Structure 1
Amino acid sequence: MSTLQHSPDAPADPSQPASPALRARGVTRRYGTGAGAVTALDTVDLDLAAGAFTAIMGPSGSGKSTLMHVLAGLDAVDEGTIHLEGTEITALGDDALTRLRRDRVGFVFQSFNLLPMLTAEQNILLPLELAGRRADRTWLMTLAEAFGIDKRLDHRPSQLSGGQIQRVAIARALITSPAVVFADEPTGNLDSRSTEEVLDFLRLSVDEFAQTVVMVTHERDAAERADRILTLADGRIAADEDLAAGRATEQTSPRTASQAGEAR
């Protein structure tokens, strides 16, 4: 399958490593005050690579949802800085932060958050309409065909399966060609078959469209579809697993093809 990309231009010098899509330094988030204060994130340092699929796991109260919220600009930090493609989002005012989320961040939610009175196509294009931007019909159809919903664009959510609804939600998240897509427990309300489909399409977003995806999940099987798994505990990163490197190692034989032939 050929790679169909709809993403920002590559770095001018391909020999230089690409800058991370997201960078967090010393990020701390507390809730409450005084003796009852809870530290949800404790001086977190993190770089998330562009064009990669990162899963965030951890038990309830570990800080995984808080981390996603501050990285997406949905919640403020008490200390530290966060940069999205070089823009320090922790320094932005409310209006600028709203524009950044609208134009440069995509969201996929567990509860889908589609508008029931709109068709699938209208739901997908809604972020562009809200931003006053013209729809790119070619990009719309590229997404719809890739996600297998091109024959369902005139259907309302009530006429779609759970898996199809979440595919519409993923297409909506990608329609603005955002810097990062955040997926918050995207398979939480789906059966096993639909779960696999949605994970396939999130993976496709990375592999075919060079999209950066950050997914919060409590399911290990879902997390293992990512390139990297971050496990949080007590507001800190307790484990950082590079699955992409492991897969690359598994695909590389210790013997050359000619050596394998000689062995036969």
Structure 2
Amino acid sequence: MTSQHLASSTPSDGPDGSTGTAAGALAHGATGTEAPAIIARGITRTYGTGAGVVTALDHVDLDVVRGAFTAIMGPSGSGKSTLLHTLAGLDVVDGGSIRIGDTEITDLSDDALTVLRRERIGFVFQSFNLLPMLSAEQNILLPLELSGKRVDRAWLETITEAFGIGDRLSHLPSQLSGGQVQRVAIARALVTSPEVVFADEPTGNLDSQTTEEVLEFLRLSVDQFGQTVVMVTHERDAAERADRILTLADGRIANDEDLRGQR
């Protein structure tokens, strides 16, 4: 049996010793041999006290496949945003463990979490969060500047040319289209070569054309650069661009779909 322990699945061994479910097929990572990018076991998160307590996450077990695109869906209050925030170290859990690579993040101090988020994780937010007084290039390079890392000009050129913004690097955000702004935000998330990129409702406030561009470039970051992406979304159409869809209900994983064979 694989190391995957999803709340929604009880894999059975196939004739070759492999598991018989989609969840089991995903357990070893994109190549079938790599360790997962993230391993979460028994994570719980509650808010409030007494009669007003709300259970956002209820003993969730999850392996995030390295080099794959995972979408998290669910109705409002299902726990999907809380799951993303806890996996990314933006929120703390009440119980359980979360490992990013070889690091147990639930044991880290606030300062250590800040360093981890800055150096090993990329973020794409709904509001993009570009600094208006900085050029596109300066916005992209900001995570490197904050962490004191050297700029890899070849990598910068690779991602900006792939995203079609190589000729817009000197422009301010106000001089860019909505799609270009989001491409800059995704490039910024990739510039540190993070272990995982977390995207929190990245298409929530966008028109249909810009939504398509965002999903295209998140997909490209996985297919062309081998990036691990975890995205929260309300939209089924957006989720179907991923390799895998996790559906949450009442703080638990209610369904786990492997879409890789459908491409």
Residue in 2 that maps onto 1:185:
201
Residue in 1 that maps onto 2:152:
136
What displacement does 1:246 show?
Answer: 3.4
Q: 1:63 aligns with which of 74, 79, 84?
A: 79
Residue in 1 that maps onto 2:104:
88
Task: State the distance in 2 between where 1:170 and 1:17 align.
Answer: 28
Task: State the distance in 1 between where 2:214 and 2:164 align.
Answer: 11
Residue in 2 that maps onto 1:176:
192
Task: State the distance in 1 between where 2:37 and 2:225 align.
Answer: 15
Residue in 2 that maps onto 1:32:
48
SS of residue matched to 1:30 = strand
Residue in 1 that maps onto 2:138:
122
Q: Which runs of 5+ in 1 are unaligned?
A: 1-14, 248-264
Q: 2:36 aligns with which of 10, 15, 20?
A: 20
Letter paired with 1:113: N
Task: State the distance in 1 between where 2:48 and 2:249 align.
Answer: 19
Residue in 2 that maps onto 1:108:
124
Task: State the distance in 2 between where 1:229 and 1:216 align.
Answer: 10
SS of residue matched to 1:178 = coil
The verdict on how the C-alpha distance between 1:160 and 1:50 changes in structure 2, with shifts beyond 3 A counting, is same
Letter paired with 1:75: D
Output the aligned Cα RMSD. 1.2
Of Structure 1 and Structure 2, the greater helix share is in 1
Give the structure-1-normalised TM-score: 0.87
Task: State the distance in 1 between where 2:37 and 2:61 align.
Answer: 14
Identity %: 78
Task: State the distance in 2 between where 1:193 and 1:34 align.
Answer: 46
Q: Deviations over 1:201-259 (max 9, x none)?
A: 00000000000000000010000000000000000001100001333xxxxxxxxxxxx
Residue in 2 that maps onto 1:42:
58
**Structure 1: which 4+ aligned runs deviate by more than 4 Å?**
none
Aligned residue pairs: how many?
Answer: 234
Task: State the distance in 2 between where 1:67 and 1:192 align.
Answer: 27
Residue in 2 that maps onto 1:75:
91
Task: State the distance in 2 between where 1:133 and 1:229 align.
Answer: 34
- Which residues in structure 2 correspond to 1:195-206 (within 5 Å)? 195-206=211-222
What displacement does 1:16 show?
Answer: 7.0
Letter paired with 2:222: V
Residue in 2 that maps onto 1:159:
175
Letter paired with 1:99: V
SS of residue matched to 1:155 = coil
Residue in 2 that maps onto 1:225:
241
Residue in 2 that maps onto 1:145:
161
Q: Deviations over 1:3-34 (max 9, x none)?
A: xxxxxxxxxxxx97110000100000000111
Task: State the distance in 2 between where 1:111 and 1:245 align.
Answer: 33
Q: 1:99 aligns with which of 97, 100, 115?
A: 115
SS of residue matched to 1:69 = helix
Residue in 1 that maps onto 2:26:
none
Q: Which runs of 5+ in 2 are unaligned?
A: 1-30
Task: State the distance in 2 between where 1:24 and 1:129 align.
Answer: 31
Contact 1:163/1:190, CA 8 A, preserved across alignment: no
Residue in 1 that maps onto 2:16:
none
SS of residue matched to 1:134 = coil
Give the structure-2-normalised TM-score: 0.87
